[in-house]
Structure 1
Amino acid sequence: MQVSFEDFKFNKQLLTAIADAGYTMPTEIQQRAITPILAGQDVMGVAQTGTGKTAAFVLPLLMKLKYAQGQDPRALILSPTRELALQIEENIKSFSTYMDLRTVVLYGGLGPKTQKEQLSKGCDIIVATPGRFLDLYLAGDIHTKSLKFLVMDEADKMMDMGFIGKIHRILEVVPRKRQNLLFSATMSELVHKIAGDFLAFPTLIEVTEQATPASTVVQRLYDVPNLKTKINLLQHLFMDDEAFHRVIVFCKTKTVADHVYAFLERKYGGENVRVIHANKGQNTRINSINAFKSGEVRFLVATDVAARGLDVSNVSHVVNFDVPIVIEDYVHRIGRTGRAFNEGVAITFCNPAEQYYINKIEKLIRQSIPVEKLPQEVFIEKTPFDEKQAIAREIDNQKRKEDPDFKGAFHEKKYAPKRGATRKKRSKR
């Protein structure tokens, strides 16, 4: 039986906002999470990115809060990154258009003055990164006694980023009697641990097998020997500007991201490309994401700082210029395309040292990524000596990780000079 948003007994204001946002049918996570949340249960939702997770907790939360009330926050939503915090705030604004609920978003990277002023005016919902929330709480700017709802979004990323200590500190300062919601794309041991500390007899909702990429994403893999050939392949693919009309290129490091950005800027002009990574200021990152969302910019080059919570519709392609080392990030990266029932394509470039991580990713997602042949038009560059050495060293390290007794080409060797070598040199003189 097909479920509609009317079946959840939402009020008219919420239903009108849902219709205005262009939502017609609830996704699976929304269908299964909204009713228990409305019933006041603790919920643990495991769902991949791009499945409508944010709306699954924002809609019932708004329904339960209904209207502005008092000075202090009644709901706290914790997010691992500022980008995701802003994304959640955007969702709340969109769905609460016809309600008078007040939301404040708190994150680091900016001075706290404006955020303190917003808090002093009163709010119903706080969306925050853990560090900034604690800073403002300890400074006396946040009073938690009225909190009725605590939501932890992207719990796995929170654990990866080392927030477990801050989360425990927050759990100490919020009221015991509250409704808890935890959402995660994957279920690591640390997520299990925090769930045990955080949730009371939760309703578990797992909409797909753990870490399964969205079925709307077509995956492709190219074996590419080195960095220069990766650039050549990128150039070849992007010649099809009709197909590759809105692309996110993911890189492992800031250095590689800047390198790819410089190439695309030279090739397609600065107005068509933006880069975001940890060295970019907060405003620059937000402006770049907004320019990409609005369609002004064709290419967004990013490190994994942008892999989560970046909700952009109609991303035609995700290109993994580098294979992610944190293998769960593969699912998050490719989840940026094929969102909300649209089809998308995820293309991964893999050098010999990255094959190790591809094997682990395939194990995680329980499927093989189809390998494509390099197009004939792509010029295969010779691997420079330094890069060849770095790849060989990395492969040695991987083998050593799997087998501690492995002695690779790069373990310490002491070479004795060959007998007669000096004599020969002298005779040549």
Structure 2
Amino acid sequence: MASFEDFKLNKQLLNAIAEAGYSTPTEIQQKAMTPILAGQDVMGIAQTGTGKTAAFVLPMLMKLKYAQGNDPRALILSPTRELAMQIEEHIQLFSTYLDIRTVLLYGGLGPKTQKELLAKGCDIIVATPGRFLELYLEGEIVTKNLKFLVLDEADKMMDMGFIGKIHRILEVVPRKRQNLLFSATMSELVRKISGDFLAFPTVLEVTEQATPAKTVEQLLYYVPNLKTKLNLLQHFFKDETSFHRVIVFCKTKAVADNIFGYLERKYGADEVRVIHANKGQNTRINSINSFKEGNVRILVATDVAARGLDVTQVSHVINFDVPIVVEDYVHRIGRTGRAFQSGTAITFCNPAEEYNIQKIEKLIRQQIPVHPMPVEVMVEKTPYDEKQHIAREIDNQKKKDNPDFKGAFHEKKYVIKAKLAKQTGWSKPNNSSNKKSKGKPSRKK
């Protein structure tokens, strides 16, 4: 397929596509649009950043054509608010010349405004599963006219524990409908839900499962501790020309806040923003918009932003922490190298994180190139508390792989006890001793 005209889309859609700056369909769009237009159920597996959203939005808009009635005819379910907003933006972009009404439903704010929008009538609902079910059970949504049901980022939905809500939604939507499922990876839970959800689907696997986009260069740095990670981060940010729009991913809200505070002191409040689950919805939206518009150079985030953040000119993604859920690595680095552009993903790895790096490399079926620490970066000595924390993490990882492993701390404890007994002359109680002396230590002469 050389252009979008080959799909026989109507003139209104083609004009909107051209104005949005799209000229050549991506691989997933080329493979998915024809079967969707033909009314088939489709399961699409493709890397993040390859245009999955347009792959189902364009044929859906082509089939819906214009506003009709008050009840929704299409439901798109998304795991996060950020991704739901991103999908709704795409719909608005492509339906510029169409009379199509879209309502966005998500939690984190009061439902009053959303109820008012539903009452005015809509054709497409884009929603997170929890808020959709809440409003449905309150009688605000009528599902009898639904013709399309889309699960986007199905693997993330399963990771976030939405499988129960998805099954509940499947019970309240019409049986006769077209189903579309899109995901970046194919986990066992995704296979399970696809069996319940899709009827004889057309399966489209554009790339090998969980393969990072070829436009993303991956780099790995072995960094001994937190302070050295901060030194390396600061070293990269000195190059303002190359590192002009950067997302720094952290594994917890506390780490994200600490990194944000550090960068804010270094570069000023105008250069950096932070988003995570504890931030208010308006704060998150404003931070993402500022980053998209180029007003903010650095966005610090937890994995809440690993999906649904579509910014075409992200120069670098920096994994300050290696993700605990290994599949999230693919989604994190997919925030760069989007829309045929190149990008770089840099990962910092301390000794306790090497375990997850091995799992990530097994998942993506390639080794991440290791780069030496730049000579300009000061390698700090690991503080005692952090050293203990890393050792405990490594112990826990070994216990996962070998339940009989007692741990270095366990062995160390008994070595210390043995040394102490030798020094003081105390011996271990003799189990064969009589009742009076049983359990009492005897002093060696």
> Structures share a fold, TM > 0.5?
yes
Deviation at 1:309, TM superposition (A): 1.2
Secondary structure of 1:345's counterpart equals strand
Equivalence for 1:131: 130
- CA deviation profile, 1:339-395 (whole Å, cap 9, x unmatched): 011000000000001000011111111111000000111001111111100100000
SS of alignment partner, residue 49 of structure 1: coil
Displacement after TM superposition at 1:419 (Å): 5.5
1:418 corresponding residue in structure 2: 421
- What one-letter code is carried by the residue in structure 1 that aligns with 2:30? Q
SS at match of 1:44: strand
What is the RMSD computed on CA atoms of the aligned residues? 1.2
1:380 corresponds in structure 2 to 379
1:340 and 2:339 correspond? yes
Q: How does 1:14-413 map to 2 (within 5 A)?
A: 14-411=13-410, 413=413
Question: What is the one-letter code of the residue matched to 2:171?
Answer: E
Cα distance in 2, alignment partners of residues 285 and 213 from structure 1: 26
TM-score, structure 2 as length reference:
0.93
Q: CA deviation at 1:130?
A: 0.3
CA deviation after TM superposition for structure 1 residue 409, in Å: 1.3
Contact conserved, 1:3 with 1:31, CA < 8 A, in 2?
no
Shift of residue 38 of structure 1? 0.2
Give the unaligned 5+ runs of structure 1. 424-429
Unaligned runs of 5+ in 2: 427-445
AA partner of residue 410 (structure 2): H
Q: Deviations over 1:307-342 (max 9, x none)?
A: 001101100000000000100000000000000110
Please state how far the C-alpha of 1:411 moved relative to its aligned partner.
2.8
1:399-427 Cα deviation digits (max 9, x unpaired): 1111111121123846364356599xxxx
- SS where residue 368 of structure 1 aligns? coil
Q: Deviations over 1:61-102 (max 9, x none)?
A: 000000000000000000000000000000000000001100
Report the secondary structure of 1:105's partner residue. strand
The SS at the match of 2:60 is helix
* 260-269 or 193-202: bigger deviation: 260-269
Q: 1:422 to 1:283 in 2, by over 3 A?
A: farther
Give the residue type in structure 1 aligned to 2:421.
K
Instruction: Return the offset for 1:259.
Output: 1.0
Q: Return the alpha-carbon distance in structure 2 between the equivalents of residues 421 and 395 of structure 1.
A: 33
| Number of positions where the alignment pairs a residue of Structure 1 with one of Structure 2 | 422
Distance, in Å, in 1 between the alignment partners of 2:400 and 2:146 is 46
Residue in 1 that maps onto 2:434: none
Render the CA deviation track for 1:251-301: whole Å, top value 9, x for unaligned: 011111111111110111101100001110111001000000000000000
Give the distance between the partners of 1:143 and 1:401, measured in 2 at CA: 47
Q: C-alpha distance in 2, partners of 1:55/1:180?
A: 16
Distance 1:402 1:420 in 2: 36
Structure 2 residue identity aligned to 1:302: A
Structure 1, residues 7-41: CA drift from partner, whole Å, max 9, x if none? 00000000000000000000000000000000000
* 2:85 alignment partner AA: L
CA distance in 2, matches of 1:217, 1:362: 15
Note the C-alpha offset of 1:215.
Answer: 0.2
- Asked whether the equivalents of residues 317 and 344 of structure 1 are also in contact (C-alpha less than 8 Å), the reply is yes
Comparing 116-125 with 263-272, greater Cα deviation is found at 263-272
**What is the aligned partner in structure 2 of residue 426 from structure 1?**
none
Rg comparison, structure with higher value: 2
Question: What secondary structure does 1:54 align onto?
Answer: helix
Q: Structure 2: how far apart are the matches of 1:62 and 1:411?
A: 62
Q: Distance in 1 between matches of 2:99 and 2:425?
A: 88
SS of the equivalent of 1:205 reads strand
**Secondary structure of 2:141's partner?**
coil
Is contact 1:164–1:194 with CA below 8 Å preserved after alignment? yes
Are residues 22 and 422 of structure 1, via their aligned partners in 2, closer, same or farther at CA, if it must alter by over 3 Å? same
Could you tell me how far apart the structure 2 residues matched to 1:147 and 1:256 are?
43
Percent identity between the two aligned chains: 80
Matched residues in 2 for 1:207 and 1:373: separation?
Answer: 34
Look up the equivalent residue of 1:233 and give its one-letter code: L
- In 2, Cα distance between the equivalents of 1:137 and 1:222? 49
The ranges of structure 1 where at least 4 consecutive aligned residues each deviate by more than 2 angstroms after the TM superposition are: 410-423
Instruction: Note the C-alpha offset of 1:106.
Output: 0.3
Q: CA deviation at 1:3?
A: 2.4
Q: Aligned AA for 1:212?
A: T
TM-score w.r.t. length of structure 1: 0.97
What is the DSSP-based 3-state SS (H/G/I as helix, E as strand, rest coil) of the residue aligned with 1:371?
A: coil
The answer (yes or no) to whether the contact 1:352–1:391 under 8 Å persists in 2 is yes
Q: Provide the C-alpha distance between the structure 2 equivalents of 1:301 and 1:420, rounded to a whole number of angstroms.
A: 53
C-alpha separation between the residues in 2 aligned to 1:378 and 1:37? 52
